[in-house]
Structure 1
Amino acid sequence: MNTNTQTTRLYHTPLSPFCRKVRLVLAEKKIEVELVEDRYWEGSPDLKRRNPAGKLPVLRYRGNMLAESQAIIEYLDEAVPAPALMPQTPLERHEVRRLCAWFDDKFHVEVTQPILNERVWKKITRTGYPDSRIVKDGLRAIKEHIDYLASLLETRRWLAGNTLSLADFTAAAHFSCLDYISDVDWDRSEVLRDWYATIKSRPAFRAVLADQVPGIHPAPHYAELDFG
């Protein structure tokens, strides 16, 4: 066997919610993976060779190169059926996909991207100093998202329904990036805080909670399962 082509390998960057959602699903499925950090901002030609779109994550799995985080996690759920992370009915699956899109599109544009770009990526890539106005806009926007998600959790055990799904891991990936730098007001919603405490207590979260980004120290409560 040529182990070089058979090893499951994820090309990623640690504080990317898109990379983290794939890591979480891989871990939940108990798929062993080799993590390879890709400093994409350095313009290596290898990234476009792996994914013509030039985006992370890229997963090498069963000899195939897979790109686009949502496509990857849905593929993994079909390829490794247990535990199932998509519900059975079309309407329930629609709700999972709707919430995945909510986080990867709306939440990312309004919250994750602006806050992480100003507070983390500008420092890592040495491309300037944080713009406090942009950070404040992101922190203002997250309050509306927290209120909306809390309203869902008032009537559901998990975000998309009564079973754990890809929507929960997608949401948790975004929240975990922000929680690393302590930019989530967990006091605003007890029900959302309880949801996050529950999902980050799962074994799948262990590696993510162990992340250390050079020069960016995690919040004191970041790795505490009960928020310290």
Structure 2
Amino acid sequence: MLILCGSPISNYYNKVKLALLEKGLPFTEEAAATHSSDDAILSASPLGKIPFVRTAHGGLCESQAILDYIEATAPQPALLPADAFEAAKVRELTTFIDWHLEIVARQLYASTFFGAAPLSEGNLARIRKQLETNIAAFKKLARFSPYVAGDSFSQADCAAFSNLPLVGMASKAAFGEDLLIAGDIDYKPYIKFIGERPSAQKVVADRKAAQAKT
């Protein structure tokens, strides 16, 4: 049985967890702190990052690699289209969400969510410009019809449901406005729509329970 390691508070952990729940795959969860120096963790995730999984074949880290492993070993229900180009477009959109939206917004988290010193005006301006540019590019790819990549739930929804609210909250806290909404991406009805799925409800409930313990 696959073991998902990390924390329900982590958005990338929840990206993987949502996919596992959608697949209906049996898995267990194991708490693991990010950037741990524990050899047992580093053997599966050499940078100590979460999430990672323990499989019958060994450890595997990086959320997208994990999703692709899950898809290859349990292809139904499919989280990627059968058509090669359409599958690549889902991966493209997932990359935009993870790397061009969330990772950029992540630079704001320490000061907006965790009480770190405020960022300099120069850094704030740089991050805002990068987010605005990347949000405009994302808008050209996202469909929201009704799913982020089209008419079927996909890997991209696992990323979008986990990451878009963080981008919105961080940008609003840092700049006084949600840059996704300002960029004409009305993602909140979409988040509510995905949130009606039992898998998403489980992810959210477990995240809130974990946050209540911190």
Q: Report TM bin, short chain.
A: 0.7 to 0.9
| Counterpart-to-counterpart distance in 1, 2:163 and 2:185 | 18
**1:119 pairs with 2:112:** yes
Q: CA deviation at 1:67?
A: 1.6
**Counterpart of 1:167?**
156
TM-score, normalized by length of structure 2? 0.76
| Counterpart-to-counterpart distance in 2, 1:196 and 1:98 | 20
Question: Is residue 11–residue 38 contact of structure 1 (8 Å, CA) maintained in 2?
Answer: yes
CA RMSD of aligned residues (A): 3.2
Q: CA deviation at 1:215?
A: 7.8
**1:131 pairs with 2:119:** yes
Seen in structure 2, the aligned counterparts of structure 1 residues 59 and 187 have a Cα distance that, compared at 3 Å, is same
**Counterpart of 1:223?**
none
Seen in structure 2, the aligned counterparts of structure 1 residues 43 and 214 have a Cα distance that, compared at 3 Å, is farther
**Counterpart of 1:158?**
147
| Counterpart-to-counterpart distance in 2, 1:201 and 1:145 | 28
Question: Which deviates further from its counterpart, 58-67 or 76-85?
Answer: 58-67
Seen in structure 2, the aligned counterparts of structure 1 residues 30 and 74 have a Cα distance that, compared at 3 Å, is same
| Counterpart-to-counterpart distance in 1, 2:103 and 2:148 | 20
Question: Is residue 66–residue 72 contact of structure 1 (8 Å, CA) maintained in 2?
Answer: yes
The gaps in structure 2 that reach 5 residues or longer are none
Q: CA deviation at 1:178?
A: 4.8
Select which of 47, 50, 72 maps to 1:78. Answer: 72
| Counterpart-to-counterpart distance in 2, 1:107 and 1:157 | 20
Select which of 167, 184, 199 maps to 1:204. Answer: 199
1:101-133 per-position Cα deviation (integer Å, ceiling 9, x unaligned) = 11222213321x11223334x55xxxx434375
Q: CA deviation at 1:48?
A: 0.8
| Counterpart-to-counterpart distance in 2, 1:119 and 1:33 | 34
| Counterpart-to-counterpart distance in 1, 2:47 and 2:28 | 22
| Counterpart-to-counterpart distance in 1, 2:140 and 2:49 | 33
Question: Which deviates further from its counterpart, 67-76 or 7-16?
Answer: 7-16
| Counterpart-to-counterpart distance in 2, 1:62 and 1:11 | 14
Select which of 41, 46, 64 maps to 1:47. Answer: 41
SS of 1:66's equivalent in the other structure is strand
SS of 2:82's equivalent in the other structure is coil
Q: CA deviation at 1:214?
A: 5.1
SS of 1:157's equivalent in the other structure is coil
**Counterpart of 1:14?**
8
| Counterpart-to-counterpart distance in 1, 2:144 and 2:102 | 25
Select which of 177, 186, 192 maps to 2:187. Answer: 192
Identity of aligned residues (%): 23
**Counterpart of 1:220?**
none
Q: CA deviation at 1:165?
A: 1.2
1:15-54 per-position Cα deviation (integer Å, ceiling 9, x unaligned) = 3332221111011112233222222245333321222243
Question: Is residue 154–residue 191 contact of structure 1 (8 Å, CA) maintained in 2?
Answer: no
Question: Which deviates further from its counterpart, 130-139 or 23-32?
Answer: 130-139
